[in-house]
Amino acid sequence: MNKRKTQSKKAILECIQRTGNYGLKSDNIESELPQFNRVTIYRILQSFIDDGIIHKVISDDGKSYYFKCKNCGEKHFHNHYHFKCNICEKVECMDNNIDVEVPKDYKIEHVNFWISGICNSCKK
Amino acid sequence: MNKRKTQSKKAILECIQRTGNYGLKSDNIESELPQFNRVTIYRILQSFIDDGIIHKVISDDGKSYYFKCKNCGEKHFHNHYHFKCNICEKVECMDNNIDVEVPKDYKIEHVNFWISGICNSCKK
DNA sequence: TCCTTATTGTAACATTGTTACAATAATACG
DNA sequence: CGTATTATTGTAACAATGTTACAATAAGGA
């Protein structure tokens, strides 16, 4: 069960590092790295999630975006939101925390906060 | 372009009314109303959204849920969240408002807030 | 009742993601 | 270094969710 360092893992990780605070969709990676198979990319992304390297967020149109983890913790708990600009289509991981109060006796296990609108660059 | 009242619209609306604060997936409606076609159901749900009768929310696994509107306004702006219980799998539309602050020069157009965890009934 | 056309059903397709299994290649060990 | 083990990959096939084109049907006004 020892993990191996492979070309594909290195390439995909580099892809994600390059994006910084912005997110990637699986098909972005596919087109940037056409030498690797779709299935392989999905599998590696999942293993990165399991290893706490990236987190996955679902957009408001149901697509998966992947972001480099900063301080998710091992269970990927993050109460920050992700912002998609409807003009430039970039998706940004925002560090602002959101305080959510759930009613008594409700327990939060996971949050997925998505906001779309217009970013500062595009507003000008 | 006059809209017509059809059996299918009546049946689907009734389905949604019955759920109250809870949401429905398209395939819930399909199995409750097998006499209507999948495509028809999708089309009617979309028309209800356009008419401001229901709103659609994307879950943290990318599925669409439909909820009866209460005070969305015409553009379906709603800064409340939706809570899915990981045990009973019910999805609830929560009325608590969430105040989100976006950085200067960012403009919010739409929000999709999803929380999953354990609801009060299941916690007991 | 009849006519217009909004609505529906069918079939075909697109996208996103998963599974099974055989082929390949990364690493440990002699 | 060479070889064996097995983690990883590619292929093909499938599943779920949603959309489009077009012909058939039915709601509602005349």
Position B1 in a domain:
no
Mean pLDDT of A90-105: 90
Position A2 in a domain:
no
Per-residue pLDDT tens for B72-94? Answer: 766 667 788 999 999 999 999 99
Per-residue pLDDT tens for A23-80? Answer: 999 999 999 999 999 999 999 999 999 999 999 999 999 999 999 988 776 666 778 9
Determine if strand C comes within 7 Å of the CB of B40. yes
Position A34 in a domain:
yes
Instruction: For chains A and B, count residue pairs whose Cβ atoms are closer than 8 Å.
Output: 121
What's the gap in Å between the CA of B36 and the closest CA on chain A? 25
Mean pLDDT of B57-73: 90
Instruction: Count other Cβ atoms within 10 Å, centred on residue A93.
Output: 21
Position A64 in a domain:
yes
Q: Report CA dihedral (B18, B22, B26, B28) to the nearest 10 degrees.
A: -70
Residue A10, pLDDT score: 97
- A chain contacts of residue B63, beta-carbon cutoff 8 Å: 62
Q: What is the CATH number of the domain that holds A35?
A: 1.10.10.10
Q: Average pLDDT over chain A, rounded to whole?
A: 92
Q: Where are the alpha helices (DSSP H) in chain B?
A: 7-19, 26-32, 38-50, 120-123
**Spatial contact of A34 and A27, defined as CB atoms under 8 Å apart:** no
Place of tokens 């403009």: B107
Determine if strand D comes within 7 Å of the CB of A7. yes
What's the gap in Å between the CA of A35 and the closest CA on chain B? 28
Please determine, for residue B44, whether its predicted confidence score (pLDDT) is greater than 80.
yes
**Which of A101, A109, A111 has its CB closest to that of B86?**
A109
**Spatial contact of A21 and A70, defined as CB atoms under 8 Å apart:** no
Mean pLDDT of B47-64: 95
% of chain A exceeding 90 in pLDDT: 81
Name beta bridge partners: A25: A65
Residue B77, pLDDT score: 75
Residue range(s) defining the domain that contains residue B97: 7-123
- B chain contacts of residue A115, beta-carbon cutoff 8 Å: 100, 102, 108, 110-112
Residue A48 burial (C-beta neighbours within 10 Å; 0-12, 13-18, 19+): buried
Binned at pLDDT 50, 70 and 90, residue B1 comes out as low
Instruction: Collect all residues from B whose CB is shorter than 8 A from any CB in A.
Output: 58-64, 81, 83, 86, 94, 96, 98, 100-120, 123-124
3-state SS record for A59-102: CCCCCEEEEECCCCCCCCCCCEEEEEECCCCCEEEEEEECCCCC
Q: Look at chain B and report how many structural domains it folds into.
A: 1
Task: State in Å, rounded, how far the first CA of chain B is from the last one.
Answer: 52
